[in-house]
Structure 1
Amino acid sequence: MLKLFRDNLRHLSWVLWGVILVFILLIFVDVGAFQPKDAEGGPNAPAAWAGDIVVRFSEYESAYRRLESYQRQLFQGNIPDAFQEQLKVQALQDAFDFKLMLAEAKDMGLKISNSELRKSILEIPAFLDENGKFIGEEKYKNLLARSGFRTAQEFENSQREQLLYIKLDSILRDSAFVSDKAVEEAFRNQSERAKIRYVLLPIRQLADSVTIEEADLASYFETHKEEYRLPEQRRIAYLVVDNSVLRAKMEVSPEDIEAYYQAHSEDYQQEEQVRARHILIKTDERTQAEADAELEKARQRIVGGEPFETVARELSEDPGSAASGGDLRYFPRGRMVPQFEEAAFGAKVGELVGPVHTPFGAHLLEVTARRESGLRPLDEVRAQVRHKILTERVSEEGNRLAGELLARLKDAGSTSEEELQSIADESETTKLVVTDPFGQQDTIAGIGRSPEFSSAAFALKPGELSELVKLPRGWAVLTLKEVLEPRIPELSVVQAQVRDAVRIQKQRDLARQKLEQARQSIDAGESFDEVAKGLDLEVKESGELSRGGALPDLGAASGKVIEAALSMEEGAVGGPYEYPQGETLVQVTERQHMDPADFEAQKEATRERLEAQEYQRLRASVLNQRKIDLNVQYASSIVADVAEDDQVR
């Protein structure tokens, strides 16, 4: 095992140097930023845990420092905000993965000997003098103390864990074997190319060419009965307190609106906003100077009296706003790219500004209105305030009435439809509804898809009342009317669906038959174009295709057709192949095979890539197996950083 470990160190030097780097960082870096709250203990207190897997604050910090150092090198000192925000989450993920890998190593019986530990320590430059000799026990312990380790044993335990991780990692890498055959197959797959021409025969074109007899329906249904099996269904009677009736009966006075507005003024604050319109000239296929010249012509037309929106509809290349005269409506700071935002918020209303250069191109813009930050005027939000008051009042009154309704039903002691209707008739806000049979996953008439309603309905026993169930319409109380067991329905019940299925099958069979005849004609000497013309079909041509590519016309069938094309030679015809909307026939027009010389030149690079992929697959398999049912808990001081994302799982 030790020999295997040494043989694989060349693959794992980055891991060892990562350990060394973290050690050096800990000597010079302030560790206060990751200290737990006083109530949570010191650096060795748990930051997060799941079962017997514990990540301590010191380990969490080490993972963070390692990631941060890597990111600073990657981005030359300036880590983008999007990456910076994820560092703590990723650090905790890495720390958990490290602990899970250690658990796997221990379960495999792997250990680190004292000699292996000693050798690794003597490879850390900080512990060597100018002659490459060990600095001595006293200096060694002092250096560890400056690095935050309370004892040498604490550091050596940490180092032993790092080495154990490396030993398991080396085994996984050594297990990531890829055969010569797999290397050649992978290289062939990535290097082979083809171009095709093809025709599409949509089955909808054959709708008038097929006839459906009653015998066809019976035969199809007999063969496909299980496809039409109905799950358990239920009929439910429910009483609902109708919010729309409550809302219609309620009144909101001007005084109510004024009082609510004043009491909730924080809800009606607004940021500074501008409303602007623009003309965009893209610079994808023209120079910036050419785009600026186009905008200058537009400016002169607007200054000369033409409406801005007219010029924008004609010239703007922004597909999202050109049709509306370039109008971008109101927007706050932070929504547009910085160059555009600076120009818009710096402009006066009615002022033409530009050209403004952004990654999208060159813009001529005009600010048409401005909203200052602060409390929005009551007249502007009056309808919103009224709606809010009504919503709160309806919710409060609906809750009260629903509670009374449930109590009344329990006191009545009967769930008969007559009793339910009698109770409903006592109040215009309460309605009785009896559903048609529905399955647990079905959409319910008048309700839609409601997991809460369906769960309550399928938990009921005869004669029982549900607790209150919240529906979009209002609170409801359910009772069970009928249970229909799983069954295969009579053909008459599903005849419409069966007829559709038979029609589609017949149209597809006819399409396939026509293209099979076309292929036979090609085999007999006709050209691809001639048979396409005879079927009144357009011949389409693809670009260069490779495995993993796509043909938009074929959707999910692309892979099958491309694979077939790559198995044929130039000039060969294949098909018909099924695609979602019909059938297709293809002819290969160009073929590029694997070049043996290229393969020999890139064989080892391909092997390394495949071995790296296999290693990642093996490592992920180990981690995923250990993460099954992992219930991660967090110390309160880091909940805001990671718990909401819960990415450790």
Structure 2
Amino acid sequence: MTMLDRMRRHKNWLKWSLALVVLTFVLFYIPDFLSTTGAVGGTATTGRVARVGSRDITGNDFRNRYQLQLQAYSNAYGGNLTDQMLRQLQIEQQILQQMIEERVQLAEADRLGLSATDEEVRGRILAMPGLQENGQFIGEARYRELLRVQRPPLTPRQFEEQIRNALVLEKLRATLTGWISLTDQELQQEYRRRNEKVKLQIVSLPINGFDSQVTVPDSELTAAFESNKEKYRVAERRKIRYMLLDLETARAKATVTDAQVQAEYNRRSPEYTTQEEIRASHILLRTEGKKEEEVRATAEDVLKQARGGADFAGLAKKYSDDEANRDQGGDLDFFARGRMVPEFEDVAFKLAPGQISDLVKTQYRFHIIKITDKKAGSGKSLADVRQQLMEQLRADAAAQQLGELAQRLNGEIRTKADLERSAKSQGLTLQESGFFGRNDLVPGLGLAPGVAERAFQMGDNDVSGAVRASRGEVFFVLTGKEAAHLPKLEEVKDRVRADIVKQKAGVLAKQKATELAAALQTAPDFVKAAKAAGFETQTTELVARDSVLPTLGISPAADKVAFSLPVGGVSSPVASESAYGVIKVLERQELKADEFNSAKPTFRDEILNERRGRFFASYMERARQKIRIDVNEEAVQRAIS
């Protein structure tokens, strides 16, 4: 029996759409802190993909998280997520790092003696909006059903362990950052820094505009290289010979029938259909433990006040027993049919915006409903989405085909000769990559961090298994290693020349900007004087610090000058990464005292969260460096194939 078996059972709870609850439950209320004790949902194990200290990340744990994240991305992209997009997003690497971070944090929490009690876990579950109806727990049977229909399914024990881990991590963050505070003076200074605005005129001199005026003799090139050799040190590199199972080629060959398109449209029809929705506020008066006639009398009096012109939100705050939305004036936000009990919906969906219902009686309570907005339903026909569906089905078919082929070849390719034989049987030619660094694009493959990472783990003539890259599935043999070294000038000549040109062009740009600033500071007309000197002026809107300025981009130096000059003042040259500029302040928007005072509570929370977040990230980075982390990239690829 779980701890929730002892909760008070509700024999009758409101009926609502299970699918909607599940979606809300998965996406918003269940943090996926997977337990370290084994797989969820009974899928076959794929081994360990990583070990963080004494904690494993199993293939099943990783695959389950991966599938949940895929679903979240699919929802975000409206079902238009292609396999190529997935490869470019490198979701598997994002998830792996998230899971590693969670285990590092749990290890640090253990070290500090932090834990969560059964009572704390129980309290958190009972408070989840996705497990409540009108402020009450939905009941043990529904709770178990919601867990069962998750993908992958969860047992109460597994879910409660996830919640326990989430609570422990909250305590860890609070323990490490709770001491961080802000004085009122610091807060006001930061508010002013973020919200003061100025309107500017800017004359910009891009540094690369002076490149053509720079010459670099060979003697200078040699001297610059000899005096800065370490700057041009070449990092360790690898070279591979690879076979690419190309995703685009497979997609172009994939065929999709009309029947498949129709079936996919039918399957995804809820995505293309928007139900009618209404936004309602309500005032709820409970009858449990009270005399129903007395509650009815109170409800009728409240209804009379509402129809008499009293503020509905104010009445809800004063009279409503629904703690979930009372402080929001009874606002239930938008909802479609199937979310509320039939007695409530039958009345609500017949009302027009602004109308207030008669008393609505449901089990153990009275409602007064006011409709505040309404959205008509809409839908897309098969013709509207046919091309989109065909592209998605082709991409899915290609990905499935490549995945199956890669899995089969994984069992066949063990040696360099096997790789050559497989390439020939597939009608493919092995390609040479050229040397690349651990964090470089792989020549010929582009974005392929899994390939680069695997290459740096392999020995001479080792053969990889299938590794996913943005272009498809890759098999390769390591053909070369290059140790980190100081290069000869010829290897980095273009880099050295580019650095010298940029430095000299910067000097020329600064000199010209200095001359221009002197002229503009005394000119009666800033714009005309700039134009006479051959430069155009750009005018901004009111901008805050850290804004992107024309040509200058984000420039702390420009911010410092712009916010220190008086209105009408013209600056000396200001530098950014790529340009010099001269700035004139046209207008300044000062802050009002009442503006800061009204924003103060929310702004304090925002700044505190930022500072605490930075400290926590820095602390955990140091903690991570003290823990051994081993990653099996092949197991990662197997888990998602």
Task: Mark the structure with the bigger radius of gyration.
Answer: 1
Bin for the TM-score computed over the shorter chain: 0.3 to 0.5
**TM-score normalised over the length of structure 2:** 0.47
**TM-score normalised over the length of structure 1:** 0.46
